[in-house]
Amino acid sequence: MINVFLIDDSVLVRNSFKKILTGLSDIHILGEANNPVDAFTEFKKVGLPDVFILDIEMPKMDGLTFLRKINVQRPTPVIMCSTLVTKGSNALLEALSLGAFAIIAKPTVGVSSFINDYKEEVLEYIRTAAKAKVRFSSIVNKSPIVSDTKSFKHKPSAKFIAIGSSTGGVQVIEEVLTNLQRDHLPILIVQHMPIGFTNNFATRLNGLCENSNVIEAQEGDVLKTNRVYIAPGAKHMEVFKEGLYYVIRLKDFPKVDFHKPSITVFLTSISKVAKENATAFILTGMGVDGAAGLLKMRKMGSKTYCQNEQTSTVYGMPKAAVSAGAVISELSIFDITKTINGTR
């Protein structure tokens, strides 16, 4: 039985989740609270849950402060539910960096429409989160690096790194990128996240990374050293070769493997043009996105890896890649960073 605790100052929201979760044989609502301070009082009566559903903006204590406190006490999967989702909130990006499992948009009106639209997604998140390995990171406390202080050169590169990532990936990407050495190859990243978040994600990463300029990818970008390109939300990112250079193309067509941008689309495009010039990694995440594209890359001579089960929040996408025969080796986060730094 999966025990869930609801923390939200909206009765409408708590009732929406109760309508979704009540009566299920494998999920139990352990308790609810209007705010985190009252929740801590409830924990003394009922204990801690397997999964939290948590808002950001609440009286007495905000969701981020609660997330930090509970992670110190006992790291627990947290699904963030907030109206800030549609705004690409930096607070929600920080929540993902602190180890939040997933984020969904809070219902503002129409409980029935929320239940119809999000029921299956909510249930999948809860069931997967209950099995997840939550990692607490304090990297968000690092002082931002001003872009003007980064004095390295960017030059077109004949080789590059490709990364596909989903649930739990924000923490891994931050850890990898903040440990990159100077003069690294171009790095392209498809990270599954809601529309509106990717530009803020790139800006945030740029402020954390000493040896990289991190940008949201744009149509026609030429791949250059010391740059990291984040695929924009709601667009597929592909790589083409034009003359001597590799360039980014952004495409608008339906989801593939349930995602847009799709890692499979991304890696498949690379398999057609880069061969041994590309090295690819599949990181933590739910589902199978990326496995088919990674296999195509391996067949064309690229080096292909995935994050190992021990360090993955969710060993879904890596497992799918391994099962497809797409992976040369499974690596820890430390070894992923070491491999990228050693690739020239």
Based on its alpha-carbon atoms, the radius of gyration of the chain, rounded to whole angstroms, reads 20
Q: Tokens 């990717």 — which residue?
A: 198
Instruction: Round to whole Å and give the CA distance between 252 and 255.
Output: 9
Q: Is 289 an active-site residue?
A: yes
Q: What is the pTM of this model?
A: 0.93
Instruction: Round to whole Å and give the CA distance between 257 and 264.
Output: 7
Structure tokens at 321: 């890649």
Q: Is 302 an active-site residue?
A: no
Closest to 79 (Cα-Cα) out of 132, 11, 12, 19: 132
> Which candidate in 165, 212, 289, 312 is catalytic?
289
Q: Is 28 an active-site residue?
A: no
Query: Residues 97-124: pLDDT tens digits?
Result: 999 999 988 876 666 777 777 899 999 9
Closest to 204 (Cα-Cα) out of 69, 282, 91, 104: 91
Whether 198 shows a pLDDT value over 50: the answer reads yes
Whether 262 shows a pLDDT value over 80: the answer reads yes
Q: Tokens 């609270």 — which residue?
A: 33
Helices (DSSP H) in 47-190: which residue ranges? Answer: 63-73, 90-97, 111-129, 169-177
> Which candidate in 192, 212, 271, 302 is catalytic?
192
> Which candidate in 16, 89, 166, 302 is catalytic?
166
Considering only residues 143 and 244, tell me which one the structure prediction assigns the higher pLDDT: 244
Neighbours of 15 (CB within 10 A): 14
Domains of the chain: 2-129 (3.40.50.2300), 146-342 (3.40.50.180)
Q: Residue 140: which pLDDT band, with cuts at 50, 70 and 90?
A: very low
**Angle in degrees, CA 258, 321, 266, rounded to 5:** 55
For residue 220, what pLDDT is reported?
97
